[in-house]
């Protein structure tokens, strides 16, 4: 195991977290058989001998409580598909096909009341990372899960704010505030472990009509493991390269006819293969209890805690070779990929607590009520080095490498440590109504979404050899050292003159506080004009009120800023569904992003100028098709889209002048996917995306026509496994796949670039003792290729090198 640094003894005491929240909400894990026969598909299902439209179908539930898609196909029998086997049972006068989820992601439900459709009947590009895929790949974090989704890029915030944790871009646009669990925002800035995940869905394109402000590139929704009917007991132990040790637990116990409890847990310790001194120690627990499961009224209460102590990694500098016009990571020119440029002060210590309650009541076959409520508390101590290589440093690297020196404090004299304490609360009440007006069938969704988020940061400063105003912290580019003699981290308020000088005249401040309240109302109506054609139109209105202050410390007087915005986001979709297994669609949607939206993520969300500006606006135009083939074994999707973002925010100052703040960007392209079972025992899931992402207007004319940063022109993923002799004593599952991302630009001028990523991974496993036990070996980055994960404007983080992981798991 890598030798640990002895961390500096001073750090702010961690926030003691806890939640005392009385709340109500839903998890639709089960429904009774009578309800199953009445509801499923999200368009009317017509009997062969009946002309009038019938009630749309809703998910059926297996004995274990997992939702399983149901399809009406005719009269006289019921078909149930679990995996690759289909069986039929008689049910009244219609055929109902129940498909197991497996690897065909079109059968996945979206997981929350505001999007009641499955993926097949959602008129938008949706990429799903199913449970089976995460198990086969031994996925351990949200970032690892999202490597299976094209168009997702990991990035880490720059400058004095020092953002880290999960920071993703979708189709090149920020999604740092667009991570959801079961349809509710997860506001925390932390690295999310996947121990509590059932599946992950990425809904691409502006989705403000469903989720509220933000979602320019899309939204990431995590469906968690919660209590369900039936009993199951499981656990996994993993170990391997990089001193990796991990254990997980998943126990579900039914304690009454309609009541169950479930607990999942995780403990994890690992270094990072191919990176010196970078590690993560974390643990988590997520108990839940469900009441009324299998009835018309359900209530689920879920608690989540995760603690993580890790070393942040800001990668290696980008350098430009003399005579070249494009910079690349220094590792492309022979710099040791293991080099880490942090100090003994670097630390990312976080604790997250969330309590979620979900309630559902089906009043009758026409009206259903939902109420989802979440409260969260987040504590984080963060200190990281940001290595910068100046022009002199770059020249020395190519002419006299031993003289090349990097500055770890970055261009703003930071990032400097801070203690971040946040809390948030969100409640979404919604109603779904199904009814007819003459021959036209309607499904209406309406509700109110109220949230409040609060962020408080205490800033600390470094001092070098006791010299006021000096924040020197350098090390060798070739042979970095984590020790910096004379560098001292002060207590709160000590060395105030060494605090970062925040831009826009704010000064050197001890405290930064942000808070925001959003009240939103949404409404949509999907109307089936015929059994095979429907129109869905909706909107969401939001009132956004945010405040920001920077107080105490050195410099100007305290800064207090505020902003209020009323936003309106419409959405229109046309859907042609000639059969239960096919849909063609067209969607137009808008989203807005007010300044100061990223309260917990941003360092300075508002300034005296931007507080007067209107929100950013984005438009999506998308056409596509989805098809379930081979009796539901395989799912195919194809879509073409055009996404336009106006980041040139126009507003009026006190003199009614117009202010332009940034670029306008356009991303257009195609996406396709295939998932499911090619033949018995042969599973596959693959995706491909082509993006033409361009800057169409810029305050810097030379940037017009350049590619949007972090967006690859081509990207693809593939994973496939085959099982030999399943169910026998000599069974064997083997397979693997690749993740490919073409090279991307790191700055708007298109003068810094990272090469393409190409990652081969594989798995081999064997089940024994009546399939209750499983042993598996995973190999990652088998070619030991120099890939890059998190990207910055002037740095890139080398991805882990070749590694292997052994896992022993059990399930009863």
The pLDDT-based confidence of 12 (bands split at 50, 70, 90) is: very low
Burial group, residue 87, by CB count within 10 angstroms (0-12, 13-18, 19+): exposed
β-pairing, 60-61 vs 70-74, is: unpaired
Stronger pLDDT, 254 or 467, i.e. the higher one: 254
pTM of the model: 0.85
* Mean pLDDT confidence for 578-601: 86
**In terms of DSSP H, where are the helices of 154-305?**
208-211
Distance between alpha carbon 198 and the CA centroid of its chain, in Å? 14
Output phi, psi for 485, to 5 deg. -60, 135
Residue 203 and residue 179: Cα distance in Å, rounded?
11
* Mean pLDDT confidence for 608-636: 84
| Sign of the dihedral through C-alpha 383, 389, 393, 399 | positive
* pLDDT, tens digit (0-9, with 9 covering 90-100), for 287-323: 999 999 999 999 999 999 999 999 999 899 999 999 9
Residue 277 and residue 282: Cα distance in Å, rounded?
16
| Residue 248 confidence (pLDDT) above 80 | yes
* Mean pLDDT confidence for 67-85: 35
| Residue 8 confidence (pLDDT) above 60 | no
pLDDT at position 25 is 37
| Residue 651 confidence (pLDDT) above 80 | no
Q: Which long-range contacts (CB under 8 A, 24 or more apart) does 652-656 make?
A: 652/612, 653/609, 653/612
**What kind of architecture, by CATH, is found in domain 119-811?**
Beta Barrel (2.40)
| Residue 51 confidence (pLDDT) above 60 | no
pLDDT at position 471 is 56
Contact 721, 761 (CB under 8 A): no
Percent with pLDDT over 90 in the chain:
61
pLDDT at position 21 is 37
Percent with pLDDT over 70 in the chain:
80
Tokens representing 414 are 């930071």
* pLDDT, tens digit (0-9, with 9 covering 90-100), for 771-781: 999 999 999 99
pLDDT at position 575 is 98
Stronger pLDDT, 202 or 49, i.e. the higher one: 202
pLDDT at position 239 is 96
Residue 508 and residue 551: Cα distance in Å, rounded?
9
The pLDDT-based confidence of 65 (bands split at 50, 70, 90) is: very low
Tokens representing 770 are 């009546």
3-class secondary-structure state, position 429: strand
SS3 percent helix, strand, coil of the chain, rounded to 5, is 5, 50, 40
pLDDT at position 662 is 62
* Mean pLDDT confidence for 592-603: 71
3-class secondary-structure state, position 79: strand
| Residue 407 confidence (pLDDT) above 50 | yes
* pLDDT, tens digit (0-9, with 9 covering 90-100), for 507-566: 888 998 999 999 999 999 999 999 999 999 999 999 989 888 889 988 778 888 888 888
Residue 318 and residue 401: Cα distance in Å, rounded?
15
pLDDT at position 486 is 80
pLDDT at position 57 is 39
| Residue 615 confidence (pLDDT) above 60 | yes
* Mean pLDDT confidence for 163-170: 78
| Residue 587 confidence (pLDDT) above 70 | yes
* Mean pLDDT confidence for 57-74: 36
pLDDT at position 780 is 96
pLDDT at position 352 is 97
> What residues does CATH 2.40.170.20 cover in the chain?
119-811
Q: Which residue has the tokens 């361009």?
A: 694
* pLDDT, tens digit (0-9, with 9 covering 90-100), for 723-756: 999 989 999 999 999 999 999 999 989 999 999 9
Residue 445 and residue 568: Cα distance in Å, rounded?
17
**In terms of DSSP H, where are the helices of 63-196?**
131-137, 142-146
Tokens representing 709 are 């940063």
Burial group, residue 467, by CB count within 10 angstroms (0-12, 13-18, 19+): exposed
Burial group, residue 51, by CB count within 10 angstroms (0-12, 13-18, 19+): exposed
Residue whose C-alpha is closest to residue 309's, from 284, 285, 286 = 284
pLDDT at position 164 is 67
* pLDDT, tens digit (0-9, with 9 covering 90-100), for 118-151: 999 999 999 999 999 999 999 999 999 999 999 8
β-pairing, 508-530 vs 533-554, is: antiparallel
| Residue 461 confidence (pLDDT) above 80 | yes
């Amino acid at each position: 195991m890598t030798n640990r640094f002895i961390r500096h003894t001073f750090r702010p005491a961690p926030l003691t977290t806890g939640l005392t929240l009385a709340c109500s909400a839903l998890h639709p894990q089960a429904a009774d058989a009578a309800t199953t026969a009445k509801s499923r598909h999200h368009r009317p299902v017509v009997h062969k001998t009946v002309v009038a439209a019938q009630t749309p179908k809703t998910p059926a539930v297996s004995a274990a409580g997992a939702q399983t898609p149901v399809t009406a196909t005719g009269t006289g029998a019921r078909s149930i598909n679990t995996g690759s086997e289909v069986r039929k049972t008689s049910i009244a006068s219609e055929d109902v096909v129940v498909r197991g989820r497996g690897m065909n992601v079109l059968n996945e439900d979206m997981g929350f009341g505001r999007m009641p459709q499955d993926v097949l009947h959602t008129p938008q590009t949706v990429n799903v990372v199913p449970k089976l895929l995460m198990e086969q790949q031994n996925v351990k974090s949200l970032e690892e899960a999202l490597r299976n989704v094209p168009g997702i890029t990991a990035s880490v915030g720059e400058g004095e704010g020092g953002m880290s944790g999960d920071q993703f871009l979708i189709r090149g646009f920020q999604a740092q505030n667009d991570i959801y669990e079961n349809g509710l925002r997860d506001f925390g800035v932390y690295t999310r472990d996947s121990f509590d995940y059932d599946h992950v869905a990425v809904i691409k394109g502006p989705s403000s009509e469903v989720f509220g402000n933000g979602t320019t590139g899309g939204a990431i929704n995590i469906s968690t493991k919660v209590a369900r009917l039936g009993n199951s007991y499981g656990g996994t132990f993993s170990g391997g390269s990089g001193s990796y040790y991990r254990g997980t637990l998943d126990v579900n116990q039914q304690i009454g006819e309609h009541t169950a409890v479930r607990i999942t847990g995780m403990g994890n310790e690992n270094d990072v293969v191919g990176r010196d001194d970078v590690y993560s120690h974390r643990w988590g627990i997520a108990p839940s209890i469900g009441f009324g499961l299998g009835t018309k009224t359900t209530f689920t209460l879920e608690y989540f805690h995760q603690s993580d102590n890790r070393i942040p990694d800001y990668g290696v500098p980008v350098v430009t070779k003399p005579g070249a016009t494009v910079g690349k990571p220094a590792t492309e020119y022979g710099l040791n990929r293991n080099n880490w440029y942090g100090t003994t002060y670097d630390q990312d210590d976080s604790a997250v607590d969330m309590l979620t309650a979900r309630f559902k009541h089906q009043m009758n076959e026409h009206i259903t009520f939902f109420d989802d409520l979440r409260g969260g508390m987040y504590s984080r101590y963060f200190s990281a080095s940001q290595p910068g290589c100046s022009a002199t440093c770059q020249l020395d690297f190519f002419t006299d490498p031993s003289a090349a020196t990097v500055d770890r404090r970055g261009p703003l004299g930071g990032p400097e440590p801070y203690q971040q304490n946040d809390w948030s609360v969100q409640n979404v009440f919604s109603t779904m109504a199904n009814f007819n007006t003459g021959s036209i069938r309607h499904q209406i969704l309406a509700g109110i979404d109220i949230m409040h988020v609060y962020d408080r940061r205490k800033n600390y400063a470094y001092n070098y050899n006791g010299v006021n105003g000096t924040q020197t912290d350098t090390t060798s580019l070739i042979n970095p050292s984590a020790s910096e003699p004379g560098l001292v981290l002060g207590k709160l308020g000590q060395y105030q003159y060494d605090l970062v000088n925040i831009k826009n005249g704010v000064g050197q401040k001890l405290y930064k506080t942000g808070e925001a309240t959003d009240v939103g109302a949404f409404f949509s109506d999907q109307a089936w004009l015929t059994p095979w054609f429907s129109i869905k139109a909706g909107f969401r209105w939001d009132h956004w009120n945010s405040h920001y202050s920077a107080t105490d410390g050195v410099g100007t007087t305290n800064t207090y800023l505020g902003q209020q915005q009323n936003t309106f986001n419409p959405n229109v979709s046309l859907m042609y569904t000639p059969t239960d297994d096919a849909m063609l669609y067209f969607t137009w949607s808008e989203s807005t992003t007010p300044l100061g939206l990223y309260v917990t993520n941003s360092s300075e969300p508002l300034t005296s100028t931007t507080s007067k500006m209107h929100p950013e606006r984005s438009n999506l135009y998308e056409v596509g098709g989805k098809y379930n083939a081979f009796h539901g074994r395989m799912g195919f999707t194809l879509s073409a889209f055009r996404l336009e973002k106006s980041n040139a925010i126009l507003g009026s100052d006190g003199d009614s002048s117009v202010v332009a703040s940034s670029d306008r960007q356009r991303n257009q392209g195609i996406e396709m996917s295939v998932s499911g079972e090619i033949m018995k025992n042969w599973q596959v899931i693959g995706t491909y995306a082509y993006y033409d992402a361009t800057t169409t207007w810029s305050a810097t004319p030379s940037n017009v026509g350049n590619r949007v940063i972090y967006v690859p022109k081509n990207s693809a993923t593939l994973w496939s496994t085959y099982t030999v002799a399943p169910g026998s004593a000599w069974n064997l599952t083997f397979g693997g796949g690749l993740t490919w991302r073409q090279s991307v630009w790191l700055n708007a001028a298109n003068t810094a670039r990272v090469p393409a990523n190409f990652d081969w991974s594989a798995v081999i496993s064997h089940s024994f003792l009546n399939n209750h036990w499983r042993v598996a070996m995973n190999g990652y980055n088998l070619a030991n290729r120099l890939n890059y994960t998190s990207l910055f404007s002037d740095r890139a983080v080398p991805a882990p090198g070749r590694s292997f992981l052994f896992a022993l798991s059990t399930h009863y």
